[in-house]
Amino acid sequence: MIKSLDGIFEKVDYEKNSSVLLYVNKEYENYPIHWHTAMEIIMPLENDYKVVISKNAYHLNPNDILIIPPGELHELFAPRTGRRIIFQFDFAIISNLKGFTGIFPILLQPRLLTPENSEDIHTELMNLLLRIKEEYIQNDNLSEAAIYSKIIQIFVYTARKYMNTGNLFPDVKLSKQKEYIEKFNIIFDYINENLTEDITLDKIADVAGFSKFHFSRLFKQFTNMSFYDYLNQKRVKSAESLLLNPNNSITDVAMKSGFSSISTFNRVFKTVKECTPTEFKNLYFYKGVV
């Protein structure tokens, strides 16, 4: 076993000076509900596999690809026989690349990519994962750089699929579609940089140069959620990492994440994560993980 599981928080045992971990799992062993700060990609090679994320079940067939965002509570259920790639890595290393803020809405939820629902990109994604496995096994001086280059390709393929401008803004001319994409990248950067401020719908619509009604409609088309739902998701993601620091109180985390009150923080966090900030914090420090 390459990784350790202590309580409900999973410590990802990266090799020294590394931020990637991959293994071909063939054990007939279930993993109880847990979470980790790494992003995870699972692809069965032989037989199926079942993953439950926030009470939603995902049934993976061979070569299906499941992307699990950091901080998601999930369980793994293995068949009696089979093999699957389980790949974990530190998404923070590439999250600040130009344009990646626009990908974040896609990564707020798990993504299951199959030959049926992703016919246009599935073969490329599958081959990239297999090449990542080869690089990981090879383990030369440039393997980790090569692995991250392929991770970026995976997200580019995935983002282009879900952010196809023709699908996002079907009633808008191509030139306008590109303009909207550029504006939304500016919007996402603005939200990232001002997460702790009082960002209102009126303010963000003004930044985008739209009326708030037009902006709300476009934002829902682009992200499949309302602006305030997206803002809350971003703030909860920020809070997750802050909760891992034992020196941060719940009040500190609430303020540093942009929530105006403890009650709002508790309510929103529980809605998104299905547990309170205190429970989430306790899960991490359960049985002396750190």
The pLDDT score that the predictor gives to residue 89 is 94
The pLDDT score that the predictor gives to residue 127 is 97
Residue 212 CB contacts under 8 Å (≥ 6 apart), including other chains: 201, 202, 205
In the chain, the percentage of residues whose pLDDT exceeds 90 is: 48
Q: Is the pLDDT of residue 256 over 80?
A: yes
The pLDDT score that the predictor gives to residue 1 is 35
Mean pLDDT of 126-133: 97
Q: Is the pLDDT of residue 186 over 80?
A: yes
- How many CB atoms lie under 10 A from the CB of residue 213? 10
Cα radius of gyration rounded to whole Å, the chain: 20
The pLDDT score that the predictor gives to residue 7 is 47
pTM of the model: 0.75
More confident residue, 244 or 208: 208
Q: Is the pLDDT of residue 287 over 90?
A: no
* Span 226-240, pLDDT tens digits: 999 999 988 998 898
* Span 98-119, pLDDT tens digits: 767 667 777 778 999 999 999 9
Residue 275 CB contacts under 8 Å (≥ 6 apart), including other chains: 73, 269, 283
Please name each of the domains of the chain with its CATH number.
4-162 (2.60.120.280), 165-224 (no CATH), 229-285 (1.10.10.60)
Q: Is the pLDDT of residue 289 over 50?
A: no
